[in-house]
Structure 1
Amino acid sequence: MRDGFVIVVPALRVEGMALFPFILVKHESLKYDEILLRHERIHLRQELELLVIPFYMMYLLHYLYNLLRYLDSGKAYLNIVFEKEAYAKEAETDYLQRRKFWAWLNFC
Structure 2
Amino acid sequence: MYIVVAKYLIPEGYAALTVFPFVVLRESESQQNLVLMQHEQIHIRQQLEMLVIAFFLWYFAEYLFGLIRFGNHNLAYRNISFEKKLTRMRKTRNF
TM-score range, shorter chain: 0.7 to 0.9
Distance in 2, matches of 1:52 and 1:26, equals: 22
Counting aligned pairs with the same residue, the percent is 32
The 5-angstrom pairing of residues 47-58 of structure 1 reads 47-58=47-58
Whether 1:65 aligns to 2:65 is yes
C-alpha change, 1:37 and 1:90, in structure 2 (3 Å) is farther
1:71 deviation in Å?
Answer: 1.4
The 5-angstrom pairing of residues 1-108 of structure 1 reads 4-11=1-8, 12-13=10-11, 14-90=14-90, 92=93
SS at match of 2:7: coil
Give unpaired runs (5+ residues) of structure 1. Answer: 95-108
Distance in 1, matches of 2:46 and 2:83, equals: 10
Deviates more, 1:21-30 or 1:8-17: 8-17
SS at match of 1:51: coil
1:31 deviation in Å?
Answer: 1.0
TM-score, with normalisation over the residues of structure 2?
0.86
C-alpha RMSD over aligned residues: 1.6
Structure number having the greater helix percentage: 2
1:69 deviation in Å?
Answer: 1.3
1:40 deviation in Å?
Answer: 0.8
List 4+ stretches of structure 1 deviating above 6 A. Answer: none
TM-score, with normalisation over the residues of structure 1?
0.77
